[in-house]
Structure formats: C-alpha cells, structure tokens
Amino acid sequence: MEAVERPSYMGCQYVLYPEYQHWVGFKDSIRSYRTFSYLSSLVTGGYHDPAAGPIACVYERPDFQGQMMDFSDDCESVQDHFRSRDINSCNVAEGYWTLYEHPSHRGRHYFLRPGRYRKCSDWGAICVTTGSFHRVTDF
C-alpha cells in the first residue's frame, strides 16, 4: 500500500511495509492512500530475465535527456554508477520501485509504478537528488 501525507496524493509518500519502523515517516498522519496491483510481479515471479532488457531507465535531465542509466536490480548508491545523483526523469517499463533521497535506501522515498515520468515532480519529488533505489518485490 502507498500512503501519502496530504489529500489527493500530495506530499511525502510512504510504502507501507509490515514493520512500521521501515516507513521513515516525518508526520504522524496519513491523508490519502491507495493500493497497487502486484499482478505483474506474480507473472514474473518477482524476478526479471536480464535478456529481456532493462526494467527501468533513469535520466540526468527532464524529458528523458542527458546521461541515461538502465537497471533491472537494486542500487545502493546512484553516484557509484551515475556521474551525479540528479535524476530528472525516469521510464519504468516493469515492476514497482522506490527511489530514495540518500544512498543505502535512506531519506525521503518515492514510489514508482510502470510509466513515464518526464520530470521528478511527476513522481512527487521536491528535488532531483536520488541516492538509491529498490525494486519492490514483497507485497
């Protein structure tokens, strides 16, 4: 489940894991929430065949411009693989992902489902800094 601080899915997002300590919340209230289908992960068994191509691509600039990195697995440190931590756009072809503000899956986080995100505000981010990301496989 995805929970958001303000109505109409505005504000910080939280992916609700069974252990509340992992939510990393800044507020003590939730104003909107929605569930998401995990059918695509059931179809693939939660795994991706690398021969099928990347699951998602991140871009340094808005509108899918600039340096690009494709990935199909978790990334503990974006800066170790990308020349900067600025991610301005993203194309998620498969699965569900959580982007984190800091390395090692810390800080504000943003839930991305399959789709094209032309600018970071499309996924609810207030700044372009991304330190790590994680593929959501446990529903």
Structurally, the chain folds into a number of domains equal to: 1
CA distance 14 to 20: 10
User: Across the beta sheet with 106-112, what order do the strands follow?
Assistant: 106-112, 96-102, 132-136
Q: Cβ(83)–Cβ(67) under 8 Å?
A: yes
* Pairing status of strand 89-92 against strand 115-117: antiparallel
Tokens 């498969």, residue located: 94
For the chain, how many helices (H) and strands (E)?
A: 2, 10
Q: Cβ(3)–Cβ(33) under 8 Å?
A: yes
Residue-by-residue pLDDT tens, the chain, 139 positions: 556 666 665 566 666 655 555 555 555 555 555 555 544 443 444 444 555 556 899 999 999 999 999 888 899 999 998 888 899 999 999 888 989 999 999 888 888 989 999 999 999 888 899 999 988 876 5
CA distance 10 to 6: 5
Q: Is pTM, for the whole model, over 0.75?
A: no
CA distance 29 to 136: 23
Range of the domain at 86: 2-136
Domain harbouring 72, CATH code: 2.60.20.10
Q: Where are the alpha helices (DSSP H) in 13-96?
A: 39-44, 78-81
